[in-house]
């Protein structure tokens, strides 16, 4: 290429996923003959899209339900400036990969916000926008999107080179290369067959200087019919020539040196009081707190044993960059502290429960001695083995330790783990209390997440919920009994580290006269306990004020077993803090009158009270809050809301969707949901 094949990658990341993908694109760029400069969108002193002549690749996540990540907020505000001309970005050629979760109504809204605004200001796509779904696995879209990116860049640079020689206008040269596929997604015509720059098994492994072959001499002859599993494949995959991704470049070296420079239980739902060391901590109902949890001690010990490092667990860890590494812009991960003990790093710093990406699986294969095991790992990371990877790794929630159990001849070095394991992230929990009612305390409610045993891994509990349950097991008390804190004192209680997170939108309206509708089945009701405590305290302080109606739609399986906060909710209803308490129980038998059509789920009760709900939202300009399960409940509630508005206003679904979108835009339809 005569034209300089250099492009810019800009990412907006909340918890590191977009950054990781952006860095992966940057790393692969060199393999395809490009030079990539990379920057976070927050570092505006390092780039200037107002005058950028290089192609730009954006990778942007979404935080919460609708917002761009914090690191992209300033950039978004800048491009939303209404004084910008309609052709302000007419010089800009870009591609955008948006990350989101279809469990949320506004899928990929962070990336879509940037994409649509760039288009409005005259920027042009050189490659179709990708929308990756964390609900089904980001890599399902991310991997093929990156594969197709290189051909799109080559064509763009070729056009730019030609234009540079001929002096032609590039403004429309990239716009005729798209068509719609069956699902309506734009795609480059020439990208129907993607050249991934893959290595076949018969090609030379450039990193090791040896030939990788499909020799499976260690495979035993089986007399019974094979069934595909994590450990083994079946024809045709087992007989295929594989296209596997290039071996990720190593870039770290690790040295180990001696020495180191109150509570109520409702079935499997736990209600925790946290006494804050910082007594004047300020939070609002609807805010969340990040809880810092460690990896399970038993899993850390097993990992150390598996890596033959059990006797070095207290050694200080020194991490340095490898000299002459081919990884572009390599740097020591900031989440790995220098001179921390190996035990500490594996316990508190690395996400050892995360599902290994294909690049990690590819790297693990290179440290696997047994031929059949190595072949299977290469299958799982190959293009041909994508279905098996999805079934036996991603969908099965397999982690590194599961792979090491399944492939005993795999002996990776510690440096490989440090290169591929991401930062151990805190887990967010919504406050179930008001600081006005409980100064110096925060209340949480959570289900203990359980993952049943399956062929790929043993039974286990969720990392944070399981740890919390174990952490407080010694002071658990049955519902209705005196909390342990009154016997032991706060100094004797288990300690939990938290970080306050403020969600600026999931709050009660500032004007207390505005009516609110709350939908919170199961543990989703927790945030609304805080809402009601806040309203109760506000009424005490300002008895002359006007307060709007409060509706709560609650649901659970059994009235006598699962009705969380029953006494509190009934007291709120009795005192008129809660105007309407509407409940349903999905697994209870019909009542004595033999009623068979009683509401089963919260959306059924919403339909029964459709006129009230519509009146609050459309006439009284009230607010709707939904808290709880994203996978089913939130979608069902959203569909019911569309139905209610459509019936009330006698409009079709498309027009109802526009009104619901308007409610979201006005911050009058808010969600705090999780999967």
CB 531 within 8 A of CB 670: no
What does pTM read for this prediction? 0.76
DSSP 386: H
Average pLDDT for the chain = 85
What are the residue boundaries of the structural domains of the chain, listed by start?
5-159, 252-293+426-501, 297-420, 516-673
For the chain, the straight-line distance linking the first and the last C-alpha, in angstroms and rounded, comes to: 47
Q: What is the pLDDT of residues 462-509, one digit of tens each?
A: 999 999 999 888 877 666 665 655 555 666 677 887 777 765 679 999
5-159 against 297-420: fold identical: no
Q: Beta strand pairing status for 252-257 and 316-321?
A: antiparallel
What is the pLDDT, as a whole number, of residue 75?
96
Q: Reply yes or no on domain 252-293+426-501 having CATH 2.40.30.10.
A: yes
CB 426 within 8 A of CB 499: yes
CATH superfamily for domain 297-420:
NADPH-cytochrome p450 Reductase; Chain A, domain 3 (1.20.990.10)
Return d(Cα 541, Cα 202) in angstroms, integer. 77
Has residue 454 got a pLDDT over 60?
yes
What is the pLDDT, as a whole number, of residue 54?
95
Return d(Cα 581, Cα 562) in angstroms, integer. 16
φ, ψ at 140 (rounded to 5°): -60, -35
Q: What is the pLDDT of residues 154-176, one digit of tens each?
A: 999 988 877 655 544 443 433 33
Give me 308's structure tokens.
């033959």
φ, ψ at 645 (rounded to 5°): -65, -40
What is the pLDDT, as a whole number, of residue 491?
62
Give me 166's structure tokens.
């001929």
CATH class of 5-159: alpha beta
Return d(Cα 61, Cα 11) in angstroms, integer. 8
What is the pLDDT, as a whole number, of residue 268?
63
Tell whether omega for the bond before 328 is within 30 degrees of 0, i.e. cis.
no
Q: Where are the beta strands (DSSP E) in 41-195?
A: 56-60, 93-100, 124-125, 130-133, 178-180, 186-188
φ, ψ at 305 (rounded to 5°): -65, -45
Q: Reply yes or no on domain 516-673 having CATH 3.40.50.80.
A: yes
Q: Where are the beta strands (DSSP E) in 448-534?
A: 450-451, 460-461, 477-478, 497-501, 516-519
Q: What is the pLDDT of residues 273-289, one digit of tens each?
A: 666 656 567 789 999 88
CB 421 within 8 A of CB 336: no
Q: What is the pLDDT of residues 365-375, one digit of tens each?
A: 999 999 999 99
């Amino acid at each position: 290429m005569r034209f300089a094949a250099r492009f810019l990658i800009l990412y907006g990341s909340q918890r590191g996923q977009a950054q990781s993908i952006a860095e992966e694109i940057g790393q692969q760029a060199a393999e395809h003959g490009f030079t990539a400069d990379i920057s976070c969108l927050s570092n505006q002193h390092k780039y200037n899209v107002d005058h950028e002549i290089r192609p730009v690749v954006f990778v942007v996540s979404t935080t919460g339900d609708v917002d761009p990540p914090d690191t992209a907020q300033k950039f978004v505000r800048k491009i939303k400036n209404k004084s910008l001309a309609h052709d302000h970005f007419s010089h800009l050629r870009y591609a955008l990969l948006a990350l989101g979760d279809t469990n949320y109504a506004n899928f990929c809204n962070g990336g879509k916000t940037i994409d649509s605004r760039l288009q409005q200001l005259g920027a042009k796509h050189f490659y179709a926008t990708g929308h990756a779904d964390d609900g089904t696995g980001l890599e399902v879209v991310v991997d093929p999107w990156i594969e197709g990116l290189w051909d799109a860049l080559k064509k763009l640079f070729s056009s730019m080179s030609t234009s540079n020689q001929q002096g032609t206008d590039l403004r429309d040269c990239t716009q005729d290369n798209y068509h719609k596929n069956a699902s309506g997604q734009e795609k480059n015509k020439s990208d129907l067959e993607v050249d991934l720059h893959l290595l076949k098994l018969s090609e030379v492994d450039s990193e090791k200087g040896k030939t990788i072959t499909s020799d499976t001499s260690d495979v035993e002859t089986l007399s019974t019919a094979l069934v595909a599993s994590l450990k083994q494949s079946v024809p045709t995959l087992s007989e295929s020539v594989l296209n596997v991704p290039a071996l990720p470049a190593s870039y770290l070296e690790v040295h180990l040196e001696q020495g180191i420079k109150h509570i109520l239980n409702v079935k499997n739902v736990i209600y925790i009081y946290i006494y804050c060391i910082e007594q004047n901590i300020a939070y609002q109902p609807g805010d969340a707190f990040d809880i810092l949890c460690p990896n399970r001690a038993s899993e850390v010990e097993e990992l150390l044993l598996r890596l033959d490092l059990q006797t070095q667990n207290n050694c200080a860890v020194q991490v340095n960059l490898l000299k002459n590494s081919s990884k572009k812009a390599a740097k020591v991960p900031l989440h790995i502290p220098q001179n921390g003990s190996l035990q500490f790093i594996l316990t508190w710093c690395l996400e050892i429960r995360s599902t290994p990406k294909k690049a990690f699986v590819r790297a693990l294969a290179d440290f696997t001695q047994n031929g059949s095991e190595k072949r299977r790992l290469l299958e799982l990371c190959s293009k041909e083995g994508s279905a098996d990877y999805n079934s036996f790794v991603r969908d099965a929630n397999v982690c590194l330790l599961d792979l090491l159990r399944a492939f005993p001849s795999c002996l990776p070095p510690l440096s490989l783990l440090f290169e591929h394991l991401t930062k151990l992230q805190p887990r967010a929990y919504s406050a179930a209390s008001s600081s006005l009612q409980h100064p110096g305390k925060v209340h949480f409610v959570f289900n203990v997440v359980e993952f049943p045993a399956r062929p790929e891994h043993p039974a286990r509990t969720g990392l944070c919920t399981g740890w919390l349950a174990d952490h407080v097991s010694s002071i658990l008390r049955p519902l209705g009994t005196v909390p342990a804190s009154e016997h032991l004192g706060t100094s004797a209680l288990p300690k939990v580290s938290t970080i306050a997170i403020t969600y600026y939108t999931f709050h009660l309206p500032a004007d207390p006269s505005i009516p609110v509708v709350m939908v919170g089945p199961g543990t989703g009701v927790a945030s609304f306990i805080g809402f009601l405590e806040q309203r109760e305290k506000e009424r005490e302080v300002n008895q002359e004020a006007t307060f709007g109606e409060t509706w709560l739609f609650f649901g659970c399986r059994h009235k006598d077993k699962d009705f969380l906060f029953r006494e509190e909710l009934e007291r709120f209803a009795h005192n008129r803090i809660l105007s309407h308490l509407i409940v349903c129980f999905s697994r209870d038998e019909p009542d004595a009158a033999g009623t068979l059509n009683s509401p089963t789920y919260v959306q059924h009760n919403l339909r029964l009270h459709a006129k009230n709900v519509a009146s609050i939202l459309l006439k009284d300009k009230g607010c709707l809050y939904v808290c709880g399960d994203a996978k089913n409940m939130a979608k069902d509630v959203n569909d019911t809301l569309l139905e209610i508005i459509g019936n009330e206003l006698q409009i079709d679904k498309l027009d109802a969707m526009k009104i619901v979108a308007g409610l979201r835009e006005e911050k009058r339809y808010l969600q705090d949901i999780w999967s």
